[in-house]
Amino acid sequence: MSLTVSEKKDLLKVATQVRRDVVRMVHGAKGGHPGGALGCTDLFVLLYFKYMKHHKNFSMDGKDEDLFFLSNGHISAVWYSTLARFGYFPVKELDSHRKINSRLQGHPTPHEHLEGIRMASGSLGQGLSVAIGAAHAKKLNKDSRLVYCLMGDGELQEGQVWEAAMYAPNRQIDNLIAFVDYNGQQIDGPVDKVMSLLDLRAKWESFGWTVLESNGNDLEELSETIEQAQLLCGQGKPIIVLMTTSMGYGVDFMMGSHKWHGVAPNDTELEKALMQLVDGMEDY
């Protein structure tokens, strides 16, 4: 068992609050991408509140820290909330998401100097390459910390992902753990209908990656998978976790449909959503 009872309780509390933040941010901005953000909340909370070594006193180089790169930048709300809740910047700033003069742009960027963000993302397919580059730099610097990267499943339709997928095993990038948000949905519908990924495990394995699978909305299972992935680092191969999630997880009417990929809840829907997300912390 990788999480103690009290740890799990604490992490669930944070996850609930992050989900509350996500729906409130998207509602406040009257736009955004709640579906993937809610689906990936458990991963963000586990990485930032348990598994990554990192400081809220942000430095771009992140020496001797674990680094995280979000390739599917449209789920920015969950990242912003996680960073703020950890203490990178004031939680009140979450209210500015997607609004004018904000550091919390629709898609994440270091351009506005928001603590915690090292790379812009939004145009899909670029994050894995960046994460591999950062992993290379860590090796050159004899820095033993790890690099984490999250991609969407629809995003895997981008060609650059497979350039990066080919590169990493060839260069023994074994200080990298990548995750795929395997929720099976993209803007135009189910991934299988838009452009099927077919046997995704076989694809990554054939490129030379160690492939793990996990339920991304079960804190304990995901936690065990992350620990397993960490143990597999340093063995000459990059690691990828195919993380099955439910888009919109935590809010029943947002779950399992691509409809909530990029739509904000109205006032009634917000209220309904927040009633399902209880026992969090304090709203911003």
The site for another protein (CB under 8 A) is made up of: 60-63, 67, 69, 109-111, 118-123, 125-138, 140-141, 143, 159-160, 163-164, 166-167, 170-171
Tracing tokens 């990242």 back to the chain, one arrives at: 79
Q: In this structure, are residues 74 and 136 in contact, taking their beta carbons and an 8 Å threshold?
A: no
Name which of 83 and 255 has its Cβ closer to another protein.
83
Q: How far is the CB of 128 from another protein (least distance, A)?
A: 8
Name which of 61 and 188 has its Cβ closer to another protein.
61
Name which of 120 and 211 has its Cβ closer to another protein.
120
Q: In this structure, are residues 149 and 67 in contact, taking their beta carbons and an 8 Å threshold?
A: no
Q: In this structure, are residues 178 and 241 in contact, taking their beta carbons and an 8 Å threshold?
A: yes
In 3D, which of 117, 115, 88, 226 has the Cα closest to residue 107? 117
Q: How far is the CB of 176 from another protein (least distance, A)?
A: 10
Q: How far is the CB of 88 from another protein (least distance, A)?
A: 16
Q: How far is the CB of 26 from another protein (least distance, A)?
A: 23
CA–CA distance, 11 with 178 (Å, rounded to integer): 21
Name which of 11 and 135 has its Cβ closer to another protein.
135
CA–CA distance, 154 with 56 (Å, rounded to integer): 31
Name which of 148 and 249 has its Cβ closer to another protein.
148
Q: How far is the CB of 57 from another protein (least distance, A)?
A: 16
The full length of the chain comes to 284
Name which of 123 and 266 has its Cβ closer to another protein.
123
Tracing tokens 């941010």 back to the chain, one arrives at: 25
Q: In this structure, are residues 80 and 104 in contact, taking their beta carbons and an 8 Å threshold?
A: yes
Name which of 28 and 154 has its Cβ closer to another protein.
154
Q: How far is the CB of 68 from another protein (least distance, A)?
A: 11
Q: How far is the CB of 102 from another protein (least distance, A)?
A: 16
Q: What is the CA radius of gyration of the chain?
A: 18
CA–CA distance, 112 with 145 (Å, rounded to integer): 26
How many whole angstroms from its chain centre is CA 124?
14
Residue 181 forms beta bridges with which residues? 152, 243
